[in-house]
Amino acid sequence: MNVRLNRFLRLPCTAVLLTCLIGCGSRDNWMPMKVGKQWNYQVRAGFDRRIEPITVRRQITVASADGYELAGPLGLSRVAWKHGSLVAESTVNARFFPPIPLLVPGVELTKEIPKQVAVWHGRVVVLGKENPASATLTERNDKVDLGTRKVNAILATLTLKMPRGKIQLDSWYQEGVGLIQQEQRTGGIRIVQLQLLDKSND
C-alpha cells in the first residue's frame, strides 16, 4: 500500500472527512450543525483506542456555498451542503477538485440493495502531490448498534480510486444527530473505526 494513500484518510482524518454541516432544513437534518457544536468519538485502530473531539470552528464559504470549518486533533476540514448533497472541499491533509460528495439524503432506499447516488471525477492533492481520481457514492438503509440501543441510519459508502490504490469509507448517519459511525477499509481490511459516544453539545 502506498504510504501517501494510506495516510490520506487515516485516523483521525477519517473523522474529520465526514463530520459535517449545517443545521436547518430537512436534508441538512442528517448532519445538524452550528458554530461551537462538538462531537466526541471513540476511535479504534488496531489495538489503539482513544476519544477524539471534532468541533465546528467557524462558518466559511466552501465551493461557492455556505459551509463550515471543522477542527480536530490533526487540523482542519472544510465541508458544505450544495445542491442537496454534502460535499468536502478538503480534509486534514487532502484537497478535492471539485469537492467530493459524502451524502445525498432524500433518495428512496432499501436495506438490501445499495443505490448509486453520485459519481465523481477530479483531482486529489495529498501531502502536496496531485493525483487524478474517481469515486462512487452508494447508499442504503441500515441499523447501527450503539451499545445500549440500535438506531436507524443511512449507510453511505464512498469508494475512492487513485492511481496507486483504492479507499472505501463507510459512514452511518442518523437523522437529527449526524455521523454516528464510520469505517475506513483498504484492500478490504478495516483500518480504522469511529463511533459517536454522545450527541455532544449544542
Residue 193 has pLDDT above 60, yes or no: yes
Question: Tell me, what's the pLDDT at 201?
Answer: 56
Model confidence pLDDT, tens digit, residues 80-97? 988 889 999 998 778 999
Confidence of residue 200 (pLDDT cuts 50, 70, 90): low
User: Among 2.40.360, 3.20.20, 3.90.550, 3.30.70, what is the CATH number of 3-196?
Assistant: 2.40.360
Question: Tell me, what's the pLDDT at 135?
Answer: 97
Q: In the chain, where are the structural domains located? A: 3-196
- Tell me the average pLDDT of the chain: 83
Question: Tell me, what's the pLDDT at 48?
Answer: 87
Backbone angles phi, psi at 87, to 5 degrees: -130, 155
- Cα distances from 93 to residues 17, 108, 122, 157, 171, in angstroms, run 10, 34, 17, 21, 19
Residue 112 has pLDDT above 60, yes or no: yes
Instruction: Report the C-alpha dihedral over residues 179, 69, 198, 23, rounded to 10 degrees.
Output: -70
Question: Cell digits for 67?
Answer: 459551509
Question: Tell me, what's the pLDDT at 10?
Answer: 43
Instruction: Report the C-alpha dihedral over residues 20, 123, 84, 42, rounded to 10 degrees.
Output: -20
Confidence of residue 25 (pLDDT cuts 50, 70, 90): very low
| pTM confidence score | 0.83
- The residue assigned the cell 442504503 is 140
| For residues 54-58, average pLDDT | 91
Residue 165 has pLDDT above 50, yes or no: yes
Higher-pLDDT residue of 139, 106: 139
Question: Tell me, what's the pLDDT at 198?
Answer: 64
Nearest C-alpha neighbor of 27 from the set 80, 108, 79, 85: 85
N-terminal to C-terminal alpha carbon distance within the chain: 40
Residue 164 has pLDDT above 50, yes or no: yes
CA–CA distance, 71 with 82 (Å, rounded to integer): 21
Question: Tell me, what's the pLDDT at 176?
Answer: 86
- The residue assigned the cell 477538485 is 97
Question: Tell me, what's the pLDDT at 156?
Answer: 97
| For residues 157-167, average pLDDT | 92
Question: Tell me, what's the pLDDT at 3?
Answer: 41
Residue 109 has pLDDT above 80, yes or no: yes
- Cα distances from 83 to residues 78, 89, 106, 197, in angstroms, run 17, 14, 12, 30
Question: Tell me, what's the pLDDT at 120?
Answer: 98
